[in-house]
Amino acid sequence: MTSANTLVAPQTSPADGNPVTSARGRKAEPTGGLAPFPRRPARLALPVVEALVDQIISGQLPVGSQLPSELTLCEIFGVSRITMREAVKSLEDKGLALARQGSGTTVTEEDNWLLLDPIVLAAAVRHDTQLTLLNQLVDMRAQLESPMAAQAARKASRTDIAEMAALLALLDSQVDEQASFLETDVAFHDRIMRASGNQLSRSIVRTVHAEARKNYRYSGDPTSAECRVSNDEHHAIFECIKNQDEAGAEQAMSQHILRAWERRRPNRPPD
């Protein structure tokens, strides 16, 4: 069993979200028919969930180990049993733990972890020291965005094309302003995905990309020259879409995503 000393509690409110009682003798205020929550809001458990997810994915709480008892966890994090039960239930929903009556809560195998959950994904990217997950994420983007580029070439309306062209012109003006360029880059890719009409694939890409971009090892720090190269690739994608070249758009998007990663990918750290 993992020692409770390995857990690090987040900063929480000492009141733990409990309602404040009125002073003795104070006249009760009218409620206007308001009723309390049927259950405590899940957000009260969020800092606890984030801390536990981080420590499971980092290996501080290894696969197969048991979490400390509910009472001990409450003492560590300074929260109520209700809040802690919500946190443990959230861990189960995310596939990171399994609670059994009389057997405690056990950290589950990695195969069960729901990596598309934003909290799980954020922690996984944060602790991806060997870039394994980031490599997989880039491959997944290429596999999803490339067919969407082909779909955009087939379906794009005049409005779609005009808005892509406007974003491309903005990118041209931002090659020396890397932070702005990166934001517009995301918008350009998203505009293509919107034009494809593939809402599910777009939602998956937006979820994983949003978390990955928070990590410096994924986003990198591109030079102006690298931004120009990337934008040349954007132009190639756009020309294929505008000309309704589905195969060309798919190939251009795949090459762009993979080549851009190779340009900014940090050297793999030694084992």
Same fold, 42-114 and 128-264: no
d(CA 195, CA 192): 5
The answer on pLDDT for 11 being more than 90 is no
Q: Give yes or no for a contact between 120 and 53, defined as CB atoms under 8 angstroms apart.
A: yes
Query: Any idea which fold 42-114 has?
Result: Arc Repressor Mutant, subunit A (1.10.10)
Cβ-count burial 143-172 (b if 16+ within 10 Å, e if not): ebbbbbbbbbbeebeeebbebbeebbeebe
Give residue 103's pLDDT: 80
pLDDT of amino acid 159: 98
Given this model, what pLDDT does residue 215 score? 86
260 neighbors 226 (Cβ within 8 angstroms)? no
CA distances from 157 to 151, 163, 185, 243, 268 (A): 12, 10, 21, 12, 42
Domain 128-264 CATH superfamily: GntR ligand-binding domain-like (1.20.120.530)
* CA dist., res. 256 & res. 164, Å (int): 16
- What digits encode the pLDDT tens for the residues 217-228? 888 888 999 999
What's the pTM value of the predicted model, to 2 decimals? 0.76
Q: Where are the domains of the chain?
A: 42-114, 128-264
Q: Who wins on pLDDT, 10 or 243?
A: 243
> Does residue 268 or residue 247 have the better pLDDT?
247
